[in-house]
Every structure is written in C-alpha cells, then in structure tokens.
Amino acid sequence: MTEDIDLSLSNHLIREDNQEDLCFAFYKLSTGKRRITALINDIIFPELDDRNIHGNVSFNPDYFDKVTSYALKNKYGIIFIHSHPYPGWQSMSSDDVDAETMLAPRVKAITGLPVVGMTIGSDGTWSARFWEKTASKTYNIQWCESVRVVGYGLKIHYNQNLKPKPKFGKEFSRTISSWGTSKQEDISRMKIGIVGMGSVGSIIAEALLRTGIEDLVFIDFDTIERKNLDRLLAASEGDIGKFKVDFQKNRLHDVNLRKGLTIEALPYSITEKQGLEAALDCDLLFSCVDMPLPRFTLDGISYSNFIPVIDGGIDTNPNSDLSNIDQARWKAHTVGPQRICMQCLGQYTPSDVSLEQSGELDNPTYIKGLPKDHFVNRGENVFGFSLSLAGMEIQQFLSMVLQPKGIYYGPKEMDFNFGNIDFDFENSCVKDCHIKSQTGQGDNFNKILLFDHPSAEKSRNNLQRSITPRTESANADTNLDTESFMKRAIRKLKNLFSDS
Ligand SMILES: [Zn+2]
Ligand SMILES: [Zn+2]
C-alpha cells in the first residue's frame, strides 16, 4: 500500500478508546514469478450504523452490499481489515477466523478473487493473509510473507514465521553499530533487484552484499566484452564472453559473507516475461539501464506495483577536439508512488521509447543525423563517475529505508565541474502524468510492459552456441521477425500514449 493509504487506514482503525474497528478496502493483483501481491487501491470506511463497536467489532449487511457493488463495478478484490489493541504482527482469534471463513466463499463468488484479511496492531504493524480456495467449499489461510508500505519511505512489516529475523556475526558488527540490530534485520530481509549489471549495477551489487542483503535478483542479457574491462567491477580478461549477471553472481558468492545468500541471475531484458516477473518479486529495484524502453518499463513497474525504483544517469561531454572533458553531470533519484516518475523527471520521453522500439537506433545513417544533445550521443560512463553515481544511488536507498530523524529527500544531481550536489528538483508528477495514473494497476498495466527483445535473444543464442552446438532452443517459438515485432510494439505504445 502507499503511505497515504496506510495513514488513512491507521487513523480510522487505531482508536483512542482502544476499541477494535474495521473497514473494507479494495485490491488489484500484481503477479510475479514467485510472489503474488494485493495492491490496495481504495477504501470504503463504514458510516456510523455500518458496524457495531462492542469489543469484537462486527459489520452490518448494508455495508457489505455497498462494498461488493463497488468491487464489482471496478473489478477489484476485497480486503477485510480490522484492528487489535496489541502491538506487532497479529495472529487471528477464533472470532476472526469465523468472520473471514464466512466472507471467503461469498467474496470469491462475487469478485472471483480471494478475500484478503488484514489486521493492524496498536503500533501500526500490519499483518495479512489470502483465503485461497483449495477444494470445493474449502478455503485455506495463506499467510503473507510481508506487508509493504511505499512512499517517501519504504517500510516492510515481516511475518516472523515465514521471514524469520536473520542472525549476524562479528562481520557485521560495524554496520550494526551504525544503525542497530532491528534496522539491520529489516534491511537484510528485503528482496532487491538490479536491472543492468554494467559499471553502476556491479558496484551497487557489491554494496548491497556488504550491507547484508541476502536475496538479490540480477537482470541483464549482456555478456562481458573487452571494452567493458575499464568499468566492470572485478572483471578480468578471462571473464570476456560470460554473462555479466553470472559473473557477478559467482563473484559475490565467493565472498562468503552471508550463508543464506540467494542470487537469481537472469540473462533477460526487463521487457521480457522472465525479467519482468522476477522484478515483480522484488521489494525494491535499481535501474542501472541507459536506454528509454527499459527505463519506461521500470517507471511503469514502480507505479503500477508499488515497487520503488532507484534510477540514475551520467551525462558526459568531451571538448570538441577531445583534448579534455568539457562537462559531466550525474543524477540519482527514487521513483514510485507519491514521488516523481522518470518521465516527469525527463529521464526519457515517449518519443524516445517509440524510437528505440522502431529499430532506427540500429541504423547508422539515422544516428548520424541526430542532434548533439540527443540521448544516443551522450558520453560514456567512466569508472570514477560510475563509482560516485552508484554511491548516490545507495544513499537514496539507505535514506529511504532508514529515514533518519524522519527526513527524506528527492532527486540529487552532481555537477562534476563545480563539485556541487544540486537538490532543488521537483519530487512530484505533473497533474495528468500517465505513469502516475497507473498507480496500483498491477497486472492490468504489467501486460503492456511486455515486449519481445531481439537483441537479448541474440545475446543468449550466441552464448549458447559458443558453449554447445545449438539444436533446439527454448526460445525457438519466439518471434525474431523484426518487422512484425516493430509493428506490434509501435501499436502497443501508440495505444498507451494516446488514451491518457
Ligand atoms: Zn481480531
Ligand atoms: Zn510523472
């Protein structure tokens, strides 16, 4: 849920008279590879005679009718929420089980979706469960692993049974002496994805490992080339030809810092099903890509699935006679619900996205005719700048999860020539922003983010060939026909950008 939703729910549910209270909310689904999330889109608070507050609170049929017709009208799932006068992740009383057992079949019959039960403790801790239909007339509780609250900050409420607190030894004593055990337990239980395992992504991966994150996802279809060796952390000549994600995964495992370390290395694009679904399993994503289409995809993922995305970019220009660098800037920002999106920040434009989709960027004559300030003509990263940008992105992450003294900040930009960090940037979207308008849409919007990716397929096929003679590829049925790919892609983008 967003911080705004969290605030209105806690204002209503946590009562000064210590009585329990209830309400209904509405969700849309976000389906990852292993995780299903209910995204809270809306709430209907009870009016005075909609419920009786008497110890164990109960609701009246009229209220439930109001809720079901609203859910039907908007194709929402239904969440039944109540409060307990105790702190922490709440289990269920037998009355709670009775109430939700009664709701499960009715809600499923009306909406086609499982009812979700949520409880808030007196300290604002959330707990949640899905009621899954497992057989005819049988509904079972499927406890949620965590409840995520996203906005300026990122707060995750963990189910101790499914996500127990990790233990830390002496190797983390210095980190824990900075922010304490409980923050360390919260941070290290997050699942974090890095999209783009180039110079910036590889440094961020290193930083996350050393911060104690145990569950990482790396998404990038590129292989290591000779020209990457001046920028790719720890890569050496013998690593040329390997997938960047595999190389970083193996290297981080060799550090042997966390016994429970899991790294999923995916040689896919974020616009492909395997990449997108893995990203939807994450609590937070780093965008270390520099092209418009993956940026647009990550922008969309963030708003439609409540997954904060930390993005950055480097812009360098050499002198016209290449006698020195003329100027360099790099910027880092966190996008997602209640913050600004990458499009409003100017990180890409819809026409750049369409241009990338059109395939024209593979045409040297077309590239030649583009103006000097076009995004394809931006200078390359150098390791020293990547290091600084990765540092700024890690700061965005730590600031968001730690929020020291309740302080948060928005986008930051480093001016290399003057050595200033500028921070006077907008941190909210324009009024009719169509990325923001997808807030909480989940799978409805995720569908539109999927594209075939011919160069990712080529990269995988090349590597496969170099290892074993390729007989029948798993991708044999995917469409490599560039023309029909372009047509479909442009049609999807036209629809997206025209109807908002
Ligand atoms: Zn209860
Ligand atoms: Zn926006």
Note the pLDDT tens digit of each residue in 62-94: 999 999 999 999 999 999 999 999 999 999 999
Does 433 fall in a domain?
yes
Question: Do 124 and 271 share a structural domain?
Answer: no
- Which of 119, 144, 169 terminates a domain? The answer is 144
Ligand located closest to 94 CA: 1
Does 171 fall in a domain?
no
Question: Do 471 and 341 share a structural domain?
Answer: yes
Does 493 fall in a domain?
yes
Question: Do 413 and 285 share a structural domain?
Answer: yes
Does 213 fall in a domain?
no
| pLDDT reading at 487 higher than 70 | no
**For residues 309 and 298, is the Cβ–Cβ distance under 8 A?**
yes
Residues whose CB is under 5 A from ligand 1 (ion)?
Answer: 93, 96
Question: Do 410 and 281 share a structural domain?
Answer: yes
Question: Do 491 and 358 share a structural domain?
Answer: yes
- Which of 144, 168, 196 terminates a domain? The answer is 144
Number of domains in the chain: 2
Q: 77 by DSSP, 3-state: which?
A: strand
CA of 123 to the centre of ligand 1 (A): 15
Does 178 fall in a domain?
no
Residue 221 confidence (pLDDT): 96
Note the pLDDT tens digit of each residue in 105-147: 999 999 999 999 999 999 999 999 999 999 999 999 999 999 9
Residue 317: strand pairing partners? 327
C-alpha torsion sign, points 438, 440, 444, 448:
positive
Does 182 fall in a domain?
no
DSSP per-residue string spanning 145-208: SEEEEESSSEEEEE-TTTSPPPP--GGGHHHHHHH-HHHHHHHHT-EEEEE--SHHHHHHHHHH
- Average pLDDT across the chain, whole number: 91
CATH number at residue 120: 3.40.140.10
CA of 331 to the centre of ligand 1 (A): 47
| Alpha-carbon torsion angle 309, 272, 144, 179, nearest 10 | -30
Rg (CA), the chain: 24
Question: Do 140 and 264 share a structural domain?
Answer: no
Residue 53 confidence (pLDDT): 77
CA of 434 to the centre of ligand 2 (A): 7
Note the pLDDT tens digit of each residue in 228-282: 999 999 999 999 999 999 999 999 999 999 999 999 999 999 999 999 999 999 9
Ligand located closest to 303 CA: 2
Average pLDDT for 195-216? 97
Question: Do 265 and 406 share a structural domain?
Answer: yes
CA of 84 to the centre of ligand 1 (A): 6
- Which of 144, 165, 193 terminates a domain? The answer is 144
Residue 381 confidence (pLDDT): 82
CA of 71 to the centre of ligand 2 (A): 27
Does 187 fall in a domain?
no
Ligand located closest to 97 CA: 1
Residues listed for the chain: 500
Ligand located closest to 83 CA: 1
CA of 151 to the centre of ligand 1 (A): 27
Ligand located closest to 57 CA: 1
Note the pLDDT tens digit of each residue in 22-54: 999 999 999 999 999 999 999 999 998 888 877
pLDDT band at residue 451 under the 50/70/90 scheme: confident
Residue range of the domain that includes 287? 259-498
pLDDT band at residue 472 under the 50/70/90 scheme: very low
The one-letter code for the residue type at 342 is M
CA of 427 to the centre of ligand 2 (A): 9
Burial class (CB in 10 A: 0-12, 13-18, 19+), 308: buried
Does 188 fall in a domain?
no
